[in-house]
Amino acid sequence: MKKNFRFVKIAIFVSALALFSCKKEITNEPLDQAKAAKENGHLQQTKTFSSEAAQKWLDLQVRFLRTPTNTNPFGRHGHRWFAYSGIALYEAVVPGMPAYQSLYGQLTDMPQMPATEPGKAYHWPTSVNAALAYMNKRFFTLSNTSSSNVAALDSLENALNAEFQSGIDAATFERSKTFGRTVAEKIYSWSATDGSLNTYPLYIPASLPAWQPTAPNPTTVADPNWGKNRLMVQGSTNNTASPLPPAYSVDPNSAYYKMVKEVYDISRALTPEQVATALYFRDQPGFQAGTAYVSVFNQVMNVEKPQLDFFALAYAQAGIALYESMINCWKIKYEVLLDRPIRYIRNVLGHSTWNPVFATPGHPDFPSGHSQNGGAFAEVMTRLFGEDYSFTLHTYDNLGMTPRNYTSFNHLAEEVGRSRVYAGIHYTYSCVEGKNQGEKIARNILNIVKFKKD
C-alpha cells in the first residue's frame, strides 16, 4: 500500500506554528516516548503513545462483525457500535490532547464526561483498554455472542491490562482504568436512548407502484424505523436532500422507464470484471450495511499505525459520519418508497425471468445505502489522509476474491455505487445522489462539531 505523505507536510507546518503558539496539533509522526516522558514529567500527552491498544480492539470488533454466512448475528447495528465506540475512545483520551476538547454539549443529549484529577498522571492506553472493553462487551453480548467471542473479549482486556500494569505504578493504572470505564459507562447509557432499541408497530407496505418487498424474500422489510433514530449532530442533514427520482410511469419516453431500462441494458452486457465488482460489494457473506466501511477503516489504520491521538480523532469522525448517513438514508428510503428495478423489468419491460446478480435487499431503492455510507466515509477519510491516498482493499481475501486497488477514497465510493447498478439492485440515480448526500452530511458534521478548541 502506498503511503500518503500528507502527514510529513503537516508535521513541518506544525513545527513552524509552535514558534507562535503553545498548542500542539495532532500528528501521525511517531514520537520518542522516553524523550516525551522526560520532557513532560509524569503528565504524558496522548500523542506520546501508539494506537496499538485501540487497534487491537478494532481488529477484534471487525472480526466479530465479519460473518461467514449470509446471516449476521449482529444485524445492521455494526456501524452504530463503531460510532459509539469511537466517541468513547476519543473521550477517554482527549484530556491528554491539549488542543482538543470533549464533544459534550455538541452531540445531541450527550452526557457530561468525567473530569481527570488535576496534576495526576494518566496512562492513556489503559484508559483506552477500559473504555473499549466496556463498550464492546455490552454491544456484542447483546446479540447472542458465542462463548468463544466472550472469551476473546476477556482475553484481550486482561492481556492489555497485564502489559500496562508492568510498566506503570499501581495508582496511575487504577486511575486510568477507572477514568476510561467511567467514560464508557456514560457513553453506553447515552447510546441506549437513541431510539434504535425502540419497539414500533408492524410495518405495513404501501400499495404498488410504491416499494414493496420483492422476491425471493417478499416478507423481508429491513429496518423501516431506523430513520427515526436520534441524530448525533443537529443540522447534519441540512441542505443535503436531492431532487426526487422520476415519477413512476410506464411510458417508454418517460424518465422513469429510461431509468429502469438502463439497469436492464447494463445487465445484458456485464463484463467479468463488472460482475466481480458487484459481488465484492455484495458484502454477504462478510459485512452488512455500514460495517463494510469499518473494515476499510481498520485496514487503513493497520497500515498507517498512527499515534493514539490521531487514531482516536479519526475513529470518532468516521463513526459519526457513518451513523448519521445511515439514519438519513433510511429515513428517505421509507418516505420516498422507490421500488427496486426487478419488478418493473419483469412486469413492465416484459423480461419475466430476469434476475439481478444477487438477491434484491429488503428495503426501498432510493437512496442507495452503500453509496450514502461510502460518500460520508470518503469525505471524512479524505479530510484526514488527503485526496490522492492510494490503498488496497483486502476485505475478502478470505473468500478468494482479488484485492482491489484505489487511488483515493472517492474512487472507492464511486466504484461502490457502480457495483450496485452492475448488480441490478439499484438505479444509477440512487447511487449518484446517495453518494452526494453522504458527502454533504460528512461536511456538515466536520463544520458543526468542533473537535479542536477555538
pLDDT score recorded for residue 444:
98
Distance from C-alpha of 267 to C-alpha of 351, rounded to nearest angstrom: 12
Establish whether domains 27-191 and 226-448 are of one fold: yes
Q: How confident is the model at residue 363 (pLDDT cuts 50, 70, 90)?
A: very high
pLDDT score recorded for residue 219:
78
pLDDT score recorded for residue 81:
92
pLDDT digits (tens, 9 = 90+) for 199-256: 999 999 999 999 999 877 777 899 999 999 999 999 999 999 999 999 999 999 999 9
Query: Among 139-153, 229-243, 302-316, where is mean pLDDT lowest?
Result: 139-153
Choose the CATH number for 226-448 among 3.40.50.620, 1.10.3720.10, 1.10.606.20, 1.10.8.100.
Answer: 1.10.606.20
Tell me the Cα Rg of the chain.
23
Rounded average pLDDT over 125-133? 98
pLDDT score recorded for residue 72:
52
Q: How confident is the model at residue 149 (pLDDT cuts 50, 70, 90)?
A: confident
Q: Which residue has the higher pLDDT, 290 or 158?
A: 158
Distance from C-alpha of 103 to C-alpha of 367, rounded to nearest angstrom: 30
Give the cell for residue 227. Answer: 430513520
pLDDT digits (tens, 9 = 90+) for 430-449: 999 999 999 999 999 999 99
Distance from C-alpha of 98 to C-alpha of 435, rounded to nearest angstrom: 35
Q: How confident is the model at residue 419 (pLDDT cuts 50, 70, 90)?
A: very high
Distance from C-alpha of 184 to C-alpha of 192, rounded to nearest angstrom: 12
Choose the CATH number for 27-191 among 1.10.606.20, 1.10.3980.10, 3.10.580.10, 1.20.1250.20.
Answer: 1.10.606.20
pLDDT score recorded for residue 290:
77
- Cα diameter, the chain: 76
Q: Where are the domains of the chain?
A: 27-191, 226-448
